[in-house]
Amino acid sequence: MKRYFLAALVALLWAPLANAQSDQSNQPAAKPESSTQEAAQKTIQVQVNLVNVLATVTDKKDRMILDLTQDDFRLFEDKRPQTIKFFSREADLPLRIGVLIDTSNSVRERLHFEQEAAVDFLNEALRPGQDQAFVVGFDVEPQVVQDYTDDTDKLSAAVRGLAAGGTTALYDAIYYACKQKMLVPQPTEPYLRRVLIVVSDGRDNQSEHSREEALSMAQHSEAIIFAISTNNSVTNTAGSRTPNCYSAGDKTLLRLAEQTGGRVFFPFEASDLASNFQEIARELRSQYSIGYVSSNQAKDGTFRTIQIETATKGLRVRARAGYYAPGPANAAK
């Protein structure tokens, strides 16, 4: 009798415990708190819109200003103030350089000087193991004569092998170089400085793409355009270029450069090309890198303007005019 009583008592006590264990086994296991936090952090990192801007600062005499700090800058996106999160002097960031040389009939007389100046520039500016460059010659259509490499001998041979002839497809050359060689699908670490050096008279009589399409592709790829005008038909009496003396081709080069944060050089003589290339190389070693998280986190693919100012009056900041926000609408076509 005691045996049956004990068995019944054990059964009564065990039943609630067994049911509780069964209920717990049917519930999903709780995720560790640290894993949940890491996942949340990763989600935030993907959603944040980090914008990198390279800037050059000069005084009224066009001399580089190299001693500014983060507190010296004010940055606006679509006229709204933004908080600068990252700031540094970025002379050491890797470079990706595209050298685009106009080989149409209109530049035949100066081509040799252009080639030698470009070769000297590549030998001076390119750091083997860190920087890379490619060379495109263009007349009727763009042609890559040397793909990305840090071998200056190969680049020099490609530049010197260019021959003049044909009409000019400047916009197609810029569009092609930016889309095929400089467009980066995902942000890189470290940030790649992408630079296009265009040697041309700025005239175009052959392109399928328009000037604004070429500019838009350059902005999508975050390429800075430096241009050296080979148009020497319009100068003032002092032998220099003023706004009243700009040709239609010069104005094209100016728009492409100013909107992407670069500049245009107007050599009076072919021999001045070398100093122009040297000035570009110097500027590439004198840039500030400014990073901010946009207060507008919409993924709408729209173009957003960027304005950078300094606390010191009289200084000029040269940087790209804006960028395309992420989103399906900004996919390059």
Residue 8, pLDDT score: 42
For residues 41 and 142, the model is more confident at 142
Mean pLDDT throughout 144-165?
Answer: 96
Range 126-139 burial, b when 16+ CB lie within 10 A, else e: beeeebbbbbbbbb
In order of 1, 15, 16, 324, the CA distances from 4 in angstroms are: 5, 17, 20, 82
Residue 238, pLDDT score: 41
Percent of all residues in the chain with a pLDDT value above 90, rounded to a whole number: 67
Of 6-10, 122-126, 185-189, the range with the lowest mean pLDDT is: 6-10
Of 30-34, 78-82, 115-119, 183-187, the range with the lowest mean pLDDT is: 30-34
Contact 150, 94 (CB under 8 A): no
For residues 24 and 148, the model is more confident at 148
Contact 309, 74 (CB under 8 A): yes
Statement: residue 13 has pLDDT above 90? no
Residue 3, pLDDT score: 43
Residue 14, pLDDT score: 46
- Record the tokens describing residue 114, joined without a space: 């252009």
Statement: residue 225 has pLDDT above 90? yes
For the chain, the average pLDDT equals 84
Tell me how far apart the 2 most distant CA atoms of the chain are, in Å: 127
Residue 180, pLDDT score: 96
- Record the tokens describing residue 201, joined without a space: 């008279």
Of 8-17, 182-191, 212-221, 281-290, which has the strongest mean pLDDT? Answer: 212-221
For residues 26 and 305, the model is more confident at 305
Q: How confident is the model at residue 233 (pLDDT cuts 50, 70, 90)?
A: low
For residues 75 and 271, the model is more confident at 75
CA angle 159, 266, 52 (to 5 degrees): 75
Residue 242, pLDDT score: 65
What are the backbone dihedrals phi and psi of residue 315, each rounded to the nearest 5 degrees, phi first?
A: -95, 145
Residue 107, pLDDT score: 84
Statement: residue 330 has pLDDT above 90? no
3-state SS assignment for residue 281: helix
* Residues 292-319: tens digit of each pLDDT: 999 999 999 999 999 999 999 999 999 9
